[in-house]
Amino acid sequence: MSDSTPLAVCFGEGLVALVAAAAGPLEDCRTFHRSLAGAEWNTAIALASAGIRTSVVSRVGDDGFGRFLTAELRAHGVDDSAVEIDDEAPTGLYVKELTTRADGAVDGTMHYYRAGSAAAAMSPETLASPTAAALLAEAALVHTSGITPALSPSTLAAQEALYAERRPDRLLSFDLNWRPALWRGREAEGRRIVSDFASRADIVFCTRSDAEAVFGTSDAQELRALFPGPRHLLVTDSGGAVAFDGSESAASDALDAPVVETIGAGDAFAAGYLAGVLTGLSLTGSLARGHRIATRALASTRDHVD
């Protein structure tokens, strides 16, 4: 990949996913398949698959799971040089329990084991490391989500530091990714925090269900009125997307494709749209690219595209 292509930096937690080999209650599952997960890391892999130079800024434990995650990034063409190694805290993980629906598709339920993870210790100092600072200085786009500020006070401070250092030549992308379990007991604070990040981003992604839970509406026009600042606003559901680029808007249907499981499809869609923006595609062209890459995440129980 040429160094002349735009650089995207994804900031957030990588997780190891242990995915049940067969549908059924966890207590009945004997075999699990290991894979990479984490919203921003999924997006990074999909961006790289779309031909965008991509780096991840994060932290993992000095353990086998951490080494697996960074090796997976490299295998998918993502730069892991700004992923710090923590010699005390472990790499976070989750277990995915599978349930088969009547239509044959599979629903995944995540059980997280991430408290006290190495990524929860991300801080403004993580961004200030020589490697991370150099990447962020070069980046044409930085992608974040509503998950990172929920992990700890230091991760919130780090994401705030990213947003405080605005540059006219660097886009800030924010995927709402509302995770109520991470905000349990402080939901009002969480809604305020993620709303603030959304209002200050250049590109905002949200599903209709997350928007309803956080903003009280899933109507695309109402959401645009609530968030007039971001140039790009994407409102998505399983049937398609409504997108705004300044005063322009467009609606598009999801592609007809086999669905094995939906987790990770939103990250892949975001990556496709961002790749379109970075390479100068039109609004409809960026939407089409998002939908095409999303179909690749729908085709397996992994969270990321191949």
Which residue numbers are catalytic?
Answer: 267
Cα 110 versus chain centre, distance: 16
Distances (CA, A) of 176 to 201, 208, 299: 11, 11, 24
- List of E strands, the chain: 7-11, 15-20, 32-37, 53-61, 79-86, 93-100, 106-113, 141-145, 171-175, 203-207, 232-237, 240-245, 248-253
Neighbours of 262 (CB within 10 A): 15
Distance CA 111, CA 116 (A): 15
User: 267, 46 in Cβ contact below 8 A?
Assistant: yes
Burial-class residue 293 by CB neighbours within 10 Å (0-12, 13-18, 19+). buried
Q: What angle do CA 213, 216, 217 make, to 5 degrees?
A: 105
Residue type, 151: L
Distance CA 127, CA 165 (A): 11
Distance CA 125, CA 57 (A): 12
**Structure tokens of 244?**
């705004």
